A = this chain, B = another copy of it.
Amino acid sequence: MAGESGKLQVFWYPHSQPSRAVVIFCRMNKIEYEEVHISIPTGAHKTPEYLNINPMGQVPAINDNGFSLFESAAILKYLSASRGTPDHWYPKDLKLRARVDCFLDWHISNTRRGASGLVYNQVVAALVGDSLNPKAAAEGKALLVKSLGILDDFWCKEGPFLCGAEEVSIADLVISCELTQLKMLDDSEESELLAPWKNVTKWFQAVKAATNPVFDEVHGKFYASNNQLKEAKLKATTEQS
Contact = CB atoms under 8 A, between A and B. Distances in A.
A98 B69 contact: yes
A154 B55 contact: yes
Interface residues of A, number: 28
Nearest to A100: B74
A70 B108 CA distance: 14
A73 B108 contact: no
Contact of A78 (B69, B71, B98): B98
B101 A73 contact: yes
Contact of A94 (B81, B98, B99): B81
A77 interface: yes
Contacts of A56: 106, 150
Interface string A126-156: 0000000000000000000000001000100
Interface in A57-104: 67, 69-71, 73-75, 77-78, 81-82, 94-95, 97-99, 101-102, 104
Contact of A71 (B81, B102, B150): B102
Contacts of A106: 56, 70-71
A91 to B, nearest CB: 12
Nearest to A99: B69
B101 A82 contact: no
24 contacts: A55-B150, A55-B154, A56-B106, A56-B150, A67-B95, A67-B98, A69-B99, A70-B102, A71-B101, A71-B102, A71-B105, A73-B101, A74-B102, A74-B105, A77-B98, A77-B101, A78-B94, A78-B95, A78-B97, A78-B101, A82-B94, A108-B108, A108-B109, A109-B109
